[in-house]
């Protein structure tokens, strides 16, 4: 059977898109009169759409994924070579790239020991949730099953992951959700819930977790799931003193600590993993997006030998092991791509570059804040940054979402793709988001912030 049209026939491509595709995160009504955006090529930091227009991508594929940039032939070749040799077998068996990447990954994660492959961040988080629930049944009579999550954090789009979702607009119209998930307060110092700052605020935000544990009953709480830096909820960096106290609380009440690194993992913040900035020793770490920079689908749930041992301690019981499968966790393309992705980050010094370029971009954004009163706060870590827009700096009244999106649209018109919190936290979808690839140069960073400067001037004067 021949393909219905040539991939070079862009008119036919657009017509087929309009007729048959259901895009992510999009209201399709405007597509009845406007052409869908078709991205046809990428190289380095830049992508080209079907009209031939070039864009500097400051969000790594729109969802914080393409960490090493576009057009990496060595990754594509590694995937091709592996697929020709052995493309798939259920992960009840092993594979050569699966073993190699697991070894490479664990070397970057002191204290961690075991890698469970799956195909998306949502599913990786589901695996950890299931393990917590099974441990509750195996060790605690099913009682210690509750999972705490944080306001503004996001852990995925499946129903259980949404049950642990701290972004109410993302969750709207999709309930009822799974029971046993309990929200704790956010740790955003710019919008502090208490009249405190610095380490005092950090300690108080962490103590609010302890208060929740005590209210729910320590014998019912099995795990705490947090992002190291809150991503889609506003690029929220933790305050001083927060993470050490969180770790202390988890150990005090025998609560497993689950760090969701789906966004922050594999170099985004300037370390291999975001939690490594804060001296945290997690029990679970989940990751996806940057693991293979989008060259193949892969996600990982990584845990300790202590947790792994809980699932083999009574081999006589036929139900005691982790009875779970992820179909595409058996694909070999993911780990094959991840191996080359990790090698590129090491060989090209991209962690160091991320730190340097992140500092440059942070300085640039602070300079913009001096010029534009609409910027209320600038925050971030490495090449993961946000600028919160407010209509008044004293009251911190958030800018209207339509105005924030107008800034994004103007940057797009200039040929620079930036992001923004979008239909996530009611009343607070007012943060511009930046996550350029780890290969970004000083010129790239300056071009991004110059576009934002022009857009802010156009939208706000």
pLDDT of the residue at 29: 83
pLDDT band at 34 (very low <50, low <70, confident <90, very high): confident
pLDDT > 90? residue 36: no
Verify that 56 and 108 share a domain, yes or no: no
Supply the pLDDT for residue 27.
87
In this structure, the answer to whether residues 105 and 253 fall within a common structural domain is: yes
Residue 82 pLDDT grade (very low, low, confident, very high; cuts 50, 70, 90): very high
Is 360 among the domain residues?
Answer: yes
Percent of the chain with pLDDT strictly greater than 90: 89
Domain boundary among 302, 329, 347: 347
Q: What is the rounded CA–CA span in Å between residue 399 and residue 381?
A: 23
Name the least confident of 108-112, 311-315, 355-359. Answer: 311-315
Contact 272, 298 (CB under 8 A): no
At residue 26, the pLDDT reads 84
Percentage of the chain exceeding pLDDT 70:
100
Q: Of 347, 378, 408, which marks where a domain is finished?
A: 347
Pure H helices in 168-287: 168-171, 198-216, 242-252
Q: Is residue 2 over pLDDT 80?
A: no
Give a yes or no: residue 291 inside a domain.
yes
Q: Note whether 297 and 325 are same-domain residues.
A: yes
Same domain? For 380 and 419 the reply is yes
Residue 318: pLDDT band by 50, 70, 90 thresholds? confident
Residues composing the chain: 461
- What is the total count of domains within the chain? 2
Position 88 scores a pLDDT of 93
14 domain-assigned: no
Residue 43 shares a structural domain with residue 87: no
88 within some domain: yes
Bridge-based pairing state of the strands 256-260 and 375-381: unpaired
Residue 152 belongs to a domain: yes
Domain presence at residue 162: yes
Q: Is residue 98 part of a domain?
A: yes
Report the CATH number at residue 188: 3.40.640.10
Looking at the structure, tell me whether residues 193 and 315 fall in a common domain: yes
Does residue 120 share a domain with residue 49? no
Tell me, yes or no, whether 381 and 308 share the same domain: no
**Would you give the distance in Å from CA 245 to the centre of its chain?**
23
Residues 334 and 201 in one domain: yes
Q: Which helix (H) or strand (E) holds 259?
A: strand 256-260
pLDDT value for 304: 98
Compute the mean pLDDT over every residue in the chain, rounded to the nearest whole number: 96
Mean pLDDT of 333-356: 98
Question: Considering only 31-35, 90-94, 183-187, 372-376, which range has the smallest mean pLDDT?
Answer: 31-35
Indicate if the pLDDT at residue 429 is higher than 80: yes
Show which of 347, 369, 389 is a domain's final residue.
Answer: 347
Task: For 254-287, write each residue's pLDDT tens digit.
Answer: 999 999 999 999 999 999 999 999 999 999 999 9
386 in helix, strand or coil?
strand
Could you tell me which of 259, 263, 286 has the C-alpha nearest to residue 275? 259
* Same domain for 204 and 83: yes
Q: How confident is the model at residue 170 (pLDDT cuts 50, 70, 90)?
A: very high
The reply to whether 57 and 82 lie within a common domain is no
Q: Is residue 433 part of a domain?
A: yes
pLDDT confidence of 43, banded at 50, 70, 90?
Answer: very high
pLDDT of residue 5 exceeding 90, the answer is: no
DSSP string, 345-374: HHHTTHHHHHHHHHHHHHHHHHHHHHH-TT
User: 42 vs 56, 231, 247, 387, CA distance in Å?
Assistant: 10, 24, 41, 26
Which structure tokens are listed for 186?
Answer: 């956010």
Residues 328, 184 share a domain: yes
What residues make up the domain containing 128? 75-347
The domain that holds 57 is classified in CATH as 3.90.1150.10
pLDDT digit string, tens, across residues 88-110: 999 999 999 999 999 999 999 99
Q: What pLDDT sits at residue 313?
A: 85
The mean per-residue pLDDT over the stretch 338-345 comes to 98
pLDDT at 122: 97
pLDDT tens column, 174-189: 999 999 999 999 999 9
At which residue do the structure tokens 């049944």 appear?
Answer: 137
């Amino acid at each position: 059977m021949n393909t219905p049209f040539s991939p070079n026939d862009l008119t036919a491509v657009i017509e087929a898109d309009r007729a048959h595709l259901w895009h992510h995160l999009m209201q399709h009504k405007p597509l009845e009169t406007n052409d869908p955006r078709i991205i046809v090529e990428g190289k380095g930091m830049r992508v080209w759409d079907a009209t031939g227009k070039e864009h500097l991508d400051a969000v790594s594929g729109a969802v914080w994924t393409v960490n090493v940039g576009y057009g990496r032939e060595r990754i594509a070749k590694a995937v091709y070579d592996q697929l020709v040799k052995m493309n798939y077998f259920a992960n009840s068996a092993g594979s050569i790239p699966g073993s190699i990447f697991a070894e490479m990954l664990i070397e970057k994660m002191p204290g961690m020991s075991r890698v469970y492959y799956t195909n998306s961040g949502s599913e990786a988080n589901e695996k950890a949730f299931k393990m917590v629930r099974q441990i509750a049944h195996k060790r605690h009579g099913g009682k210690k099953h509750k999972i705490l999550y944080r306001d503004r954090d996001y852990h995925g789009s499946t129903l259980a992951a949404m049950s642990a979702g701290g972004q109410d607009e993302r969750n709207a119209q999709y309930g009822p959700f799974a029971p046993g998930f309990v929200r704790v307060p956010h740790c955003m110092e710019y919008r502090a819930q208490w009249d405190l700052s610095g380490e005092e605020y950090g300690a108080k935000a962490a103590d609010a977790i302890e208060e929740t544990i005590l209210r729910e009953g320590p014998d019912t709480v099995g795990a705490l799931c947090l992002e190291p830096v809150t991503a889609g909820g506003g690029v929220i960096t933790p305050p001083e003193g927060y993470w050490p106290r969180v770790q202390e609380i988890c150990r005090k009440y025998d609560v497993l600590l689950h760090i969701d690194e789906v966004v922050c993992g594999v170099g985004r913040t300037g370390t291999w993993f975001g939690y490594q900035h804060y001296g945290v020793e997690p029990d679970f770490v989940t990751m996806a997006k940057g693991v293979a920079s989008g060259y193949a689908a892969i996600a990982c749930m990584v845990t300790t030998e202590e947790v792994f041992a809980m699932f083999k301690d009574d081999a006589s019981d036929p139900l005691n092991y982790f009875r779970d499968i992820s179909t595409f966790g058996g694909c070999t393309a993911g780990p094959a791509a991840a191996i080359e992705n990790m090698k590129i980050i090491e060989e090209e010094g991209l962690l160091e570059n991320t730190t340097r370029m992140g500092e440059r971009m942070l300085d640039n954004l602070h300079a913009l804040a001096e010029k534009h009163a609409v910027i209320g706060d600038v925050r971030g870590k490495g090449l993961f940054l946000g600028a919160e827009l407010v209509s008044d700096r004293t009251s911190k009244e958030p800018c209207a979402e339509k105005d924030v999106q107008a800034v994004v649209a103007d940057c797009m018109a200039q040929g620079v793709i930036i992001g923004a919190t979008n239909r996530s936290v009611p009343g607070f979808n007012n943060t511009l988001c930046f996550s350029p690839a780890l290969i970004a140069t000083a010129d790239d960073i300056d071009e991004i912030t110059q576009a934002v400067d022009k857009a802010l001037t156009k939208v706000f004067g």
